[in-house]
Structure 1
Amino acid sequence: MPFQPNLPRIFFSKIGNQKLRTAIWTGVDKGFGKRTPLLFFNGIGANLEIAQLFADTFTGRDIITFDMPGIGGSPDPTFPYRPWWVAKAAKQILTDNGYHRVDVLGVSWGGGPAQQFAWQNKAMTRRLVLCATSPGWTMVPGNPKALSKMASPKRYIDRDFLKKNFETLYGDAAEHSGEFTVNMVPPSVKGYLFQLGAMMGWSSLPIARRIRARTLIIMGSKDHIVPPINGRILHALYRRSRLEIIDGAGHLFLLTRREETVDLIRDFFSEPEMPIPHAEPVEVPSVAASFVHANDSARAHA
């Protein structure tokens, strides 16, 4: 029987004057009951469908995520925003959909809003997982060759450019580029730049010691964007933290070393052991609709 992805319910959430395209993957009960829902903050420029492979592997709980303004299917931002606004928007999305206590996972750029959410919403946050991320503006920077290619969204627009520079960018082998690009939708230039600017001057140094949630920090030893020293800094900051460094992994280990990463997260959550389902990287139907939206937006602003 061919693999069938667990497709999310996708809809728009209204946060003030801004619409945010939102996705909820419904977890399956494997005899242990539904687990705590997982709030997922994605990386810079990454549309919500990129989380599909992770959602197909990490199947025991509801997963909630959303596109940042100007990313994926969300309209361009109407104003500059900061991590506190992203955390506030996430809380409204959760409460509007009946979620009042969650585990929180942040990847790369999303690690900043994840930490901000855990601080702003202490009672709502059970546990915190930080993948390939840093304390923000106070991070130890990565390889200049990789960082220079992060300044624009070209890697999302030109797939040949991404494949050619995949290992330089992320530290992961180029053979894994297809897993990343299969559900990739280019962000708008405005959306990407606003997202990049949202973290300017922000640091978790003043708040980390006051975050009560138990925290798992996972880093890749070959990450060219966020060197693993940043994970060690976070581990020193968080009172109740555990650090795991995946040997030989690059920045995208949540995709390229998915089973190993999921095992670490399940162990941290004290979930019972169970087989990890095999998931194929297949394009989900909502990607085509997102491309239509992105093209319409580009024509409207031409």
Structure 2
Amino acid sequence: MTDTIGSGEVSLENIGGRQLRIARWRLDEPSDHPPILFFNGIGANIEAVSPLAEMLDDRGFIMFDMPGVGGSPEPLIPYNAFTMSWTAAKILDAFGITTVDVMGVSWGGAMAQHFALQHAARVRRVVLCATTAGMLMVPGNPAALTKMANPRRYIDPEFMNEHFQTLYGGIDPDGTKHQKDAHIGRLKPPTPRGYFYQLLAMLGWTSAPALPFLNKETLVMMGGDDQIVVPINGRILASLIPNAKLVEIPDGGHLFLLTHEDESLAEIRAFLDAPEGEALAAA
């Protein structure tokens, strides 16, 4: 059964033995650009990022709910970055996609790194937002990390509203109420097992030793006011990846793609649309 999110199609598909809820936009439309394969943040469902897919309207876009998140059934056994990268490649196969630009945010940024390393032949460019090299990360604000781990942020809109600034930073109290309310309204809580397995998947994981071998043009984007993934983590990533460009949104928080969407989108488009060999200069 196929459903819709905006202009996107959503369906539950059997991929590599897993039932996964997959959303895709414009895959059957002609484009001068490869589709974007997007990996979401921990516990975040497809709807949380659907506005980004709608705005990047000149190319395909595909993403999926992790097991136990959004509309994907609970996982029976744990998974890791390797198995989910393999699964993502199987999703691309199922929809006839050979090459992608891969993008990830926060937890999904780690997945994007792993996918680009594991399936390098299928990746053209990489966009990493508000993310780290894994276990070697510099920790964020303890107050934000404590609230981030509290499941109430998914199920209690009042809790989320009260602690939004601490959790995500970069909020203009007078200018982003609509965006904040809209984001809260799009969230659906993961199952406890789904959330735990996402945490478990990255336990002990780091990309740091492999990043010098990531020979893809890479845009690293960070929020200067990010309370969860502090900006120095982006500088670490950019220093380890040979062909990386670091862009910092000075007053952006962890959700700068939401709160600073015009600025973020301009940087992403400039990077992805640049001719071969010129992406780092354009970003």
- TM-score (norm. length: structure 2): 0.90
Correspondence for 2:194 among 191, 196, 201: 191
Correspondence for 1:171 among 161, 169, 172: 169
- Comparing 245-254 with 9-18, which one deviates more in the overlay? 9-18
Deviations 1:72-107 (A, max 9, x none): 000011111111111111100001100000000000
In structure 2, stretches of 5+ residues that fail to align are 276-283
Q: 1:116-265 to 2 correspondence within 5 Å?
A: 116-173=114-171, 175=177, 176-265=179-268
Correspondence for 1:70 among 68, 82, 87: 68
List, as ranges, runs of 4+ consecutive aligned residues in structure 1 with deviation greater than 4 Å.
none
Q: In 2, distance between residues paired with 1:182 and 1:263?
A: 25
Q: In 1, distance between residues paired with 2:262 and 2:185?
A: 19
Asked if 2 retains the 8 angstrom alpha-carbon contact of 1:221 and 1:246, the reply is yes
Please state how far the C-alpha of 1:17 moved relative to its aligned partner. 3.4
Q: In 2, distance between residues paired with 1:268 and 1:144?
A: 33
Q: In 2, distance between residues paired with 1:188 and 1:177?
A: 23
Q: Identity, % of aligned pairs?
A: 46
CA RMSD of aligned residues (A): 1.7
Q: Which residue of 1 aligns with 2:20?
A: 20
> Aligned in 2, Cα 1:28/1:167: closer, same or farther, shift over 3 Å?
farther
Q: 1:72-111 to 2 correspondence within 5 Å?
A: 72-111=70-109
Please state how far the C-alpha of 1:28 moved relative to its aligned partner. 9.3
In structure 1, stretches of 5+ residues that fail to align are 273-302
Deviations 1:156-199 (A, max 9, x none): 11111000000001113262421312221111111111111211
Aligned residue pairs total: 266
Deviations 1:81-138 (A, max 9, x none): 1111111111000011000000000001001110000001111000000000000111
Q: In 2, distance between residues paired with 1:88 and 1:54?
A: 24
Deviations 1:201-250 (A, max 9, x none): 00011211111111000000000000000000000000000000001000
Deviations 1:22-77 (A, max 9, x none): 00011697xx9442100000001100111111112111111000000100000011
Q: Which residue of 1 aligns with 2:10?
A: 10
Higher relative CO (CA 8 A, sep ≥ 6), structure 1 or 2? 1
Q: In 2, distance between residues paired with 1:170 and 1:28?
A: 35
- Comparing 178-187 with 39-48, which one deviates more in the overlay? 178-187
